Structures are given as structure tokens and as C-alpha cells.
Amino acid sequence: MKKDRRLGAIVGMFTVLAVGGVVIRSARAQSPAAAPPVSSASAPKKAVEQFKNIQVLKDIPADQLIPAMQFITASLGVECGFCHVEGAFEKDDKKQKVTARKMMEMMFTINQENFEGHREVTCYSCHRGSTDPVGTPLVMAEAAMPGMGGAKKSEENHDEGAFTTAPGPTADHLLD
């Protein structure tokens, strides 16, 4: 049963990532200069035309805004109310909403300047389901790799909580 739930969660996450990736890619791919001319009668509404106070994802099709928001919430492991005022999504009363806009702009800039506009960096790249991503990866852990040092149970001291710290890898070793 646990495996079924875990598999379902993994499949669900990949689905959200795939949908979000399409939305984010189309958000940057649709610039007025790059889009082929389409008559206004047949063009789908853009998010900015259908929703209030859209500042970053203005040019994506309106029907893709909600999937984009779902991708963001899954990437941060939150619900809509984390950034939005319940019942008044257009309000900018929450600091998290302002921060999210800045983070999306940063993400778009990173992809544009480093990956030729291809979507390589997303919210999930750093957040991994958490509102506060780990800024520095954990290098040393209790179960360190053989030969890498790390915290070990003290052989001499039989106290259950006693640990000694073996020398960790050198900076040169890490950089190599």
C-alpha cells in the first residue's frame, strides 16, 4: 500500500512537472516579435486579458495559467493560500506573492542568459517541494561515504548519544 501511494505521488509529481514545463516554456517562447500574426478573433485570450493583476506570466494563454500555478505550488509544497489572499487572488498583500514574481523573473533570466531560452531551471530545480530550499548541499552526513570521514559512533565511549568527528574531505578533494 505504501509503495502504491509513493508511486502515485511520483507519477503525480512528474505530471505536474511536465505540465508546468510546457507552461513555462510557452511563457517565454511567446513574444510579440516571435509569434506568427494571428487574427484577434481566433487568438486565444492571454492570461493578462482574462485575469486581474498578472505581471509575470502575461503572455501565456489564459487556460494555461492555472496549470502553471499548480506547478509552482507542487514545486514549493504549498497550497494557493501561501501566496494568494483567499477569494482575492489579484491582491498583492502577501510577501510570498511578491517574492514568487521576483523568483520567476530570476528563473527566466537564468534560462535566457545561460541556456539559450530553453527551460533548464524551474522552481523545482531549487525548491524540491520545500518553501525554503537548501542553499548549500549537505556534504557531510552521519552515513558518510567510505574514505570520506564523517560522524561515527564512538567505539571507546559506549554512551548511545556519543559521536566523534572523523576528519572530513579536504577542500581540494571537494573541488576535484
**pLDDT for 147-172, tens place per residue?**
554 444 444 545 444 545 556 777 77
Residues 6 or more apart in contact with residue 115 via CB below 8 angstroms: 121
Do 45 and 103 lie in one domain? The reply is yes
Do 118 and 160 lie in one domain? The reply is no
Do 145 and 69 lie in one domain? The reply is no
* Residue 28 lies inside a defined structural domain of this protein: yes
**What is the grid cell recorded at 67?**
496549470
Range of the domain at 73: 2-127
Do 115 and 71 lie in one domain? The reply is yes
Do 116 and 142 lie in one domain? The reply is no
pLDDT tens digits, one per residue of 20-67: 554 455 444 444 444 455 555 678 999 999 999 999 999 999 999 999
* Residue 52 lies inside a defined structural domain of this protein: yes
Number of domains in the chain: 2
DSSP state of 88: B
